[in-house]
A and B are shown apart, each in its own frame.
Chain A
């Protein structure tokens, strides 16, 4: 093997990578908040009385979960302009990720809500609480406790999946890796370092979720 590893050119451009990292975190944060809202709305719609609403959510979830994220991204960024709806890269990327996360979160939240014993809901209704009151006072906290691990891993996967936005030109962390690769030709070094960044982020996310779980649900 005649290749000499040289990490210096990559570390010299660490400010570029940090810029990308900041954008990645921004995007991830926005998508998590919006996607979780979509998910809760979807889960509530999946339990609605109206059959058309239940069917609509079912179609949405199945369509998103059975198509790859890259195909969805290309459809929204390249396909919609064919109908006249032109979006810039970041908006298209955000919409794709939010719609995608919403579908997976709908299933997770639905599972969490279904896991609450029905006797609790019956007791709340017997005490005269309205459906909204029952949801916020009785169902929400145990459901959150059940779905927390699945949500945490889904959000971590989302953060990793945000790297796909590099393919439409969003200058997040992975795109910065390609740019540094073009500048320095140190392909292995730059992609290995960026993977290390993602790994550190993923471990930080896991730690954050584990700690918040303990604070919110275990201590009283």
Chain B
């Protein structure tokens, strides 16, 4: 009639976990690229670029991730692109994540003393080169701990992709639960698996931050 929750079911959950990791990496790559673009616009000298980036960040931060996921899933096909659930989920997670990454990195760039900008300008570097060769390398080190923290947030956000049908850990849990009717075991295991994935990253982020403070 229905299955017992055994090793096979645990392996199914683990296969869902591998897709969670895959979706996280895809979304991180997308967030990284878009976030970098947003950061460039946010620290630009041209006011229009700064304001549109700032406005875009405010808009995306005021939208629930579920909303973004559904809009990506339903809106993209309207424009003729036949998108799979994975593309929609990656796109939505990337747009959502890029905004938070851009904010984190802007904080890191603003932590660099003004003197660095002025010294590099005095040496005749263009603004682009100031960013690329003087400011960003220094901001990079400061930005690593919060970026690792963001990765944890991203892993948790991928659980929402299950709502549009992406078979990652949360969706796999629903499927296994439907087969075994052991919700306490199934969802308990899922929480433990997510914790096992996230806690090491959280701990590492704290170690990095402590190392930075020295």
Chain A interface residues toward B at CB < 8 A: 1, 3, 62-63, 65-72, 74-75, 78-83, 156, 160-161, 163-164, 166-167, 174, 177, 187-188, 191-192, 194-195, 198-199, 201-203
> Does the CB pair B66–A79 fall under 8 Å?
no
The binding surface of chain B is classed by DSSP as: helix
A residues less than 8 Å from B204 (CB atoms): none
B207 lies within 8 A of chain A by Cβ:
no
B53 lies within 8 A of chain A by Cβ:
no
A residues less than 8 Å from B184 (CB atoms): 75, 79-80, 82-83
Closest to A78 in B: B183
CA distance A21 to B78 in the complex (A): 27
> Does the CB pair A174–B67 fall under 8 Å?
yes
> Does the CB pair A68–B75 fall under 8 Å?
no
The binding surface of chain A is classed by DSSP as: helix
B31 to chain A, nearest CB (A): 17
B48 to chain A, nearest CB (A): 22
> Does the CB pair B191–A164 fall under 8 Å?
no
> Does the CB pair A67–B194 fall under 8 Å?
yes
Q: How many A-B residue pairs have CB under 8 A?
A: 119
List the one stretch of B33-41, B56-64, B110-118, B120-128 in contact with chain A: B56-64
Which size bracket describes the interface of B in this complex?
35 or more
Interface centre among A3, A67, A201, A202 (most CB of B within 10 A): A67
> Does the CB pair B162–A70 fall under 8 Å?
yes
B23 lies within 8 A of chain A by Cβ:
no
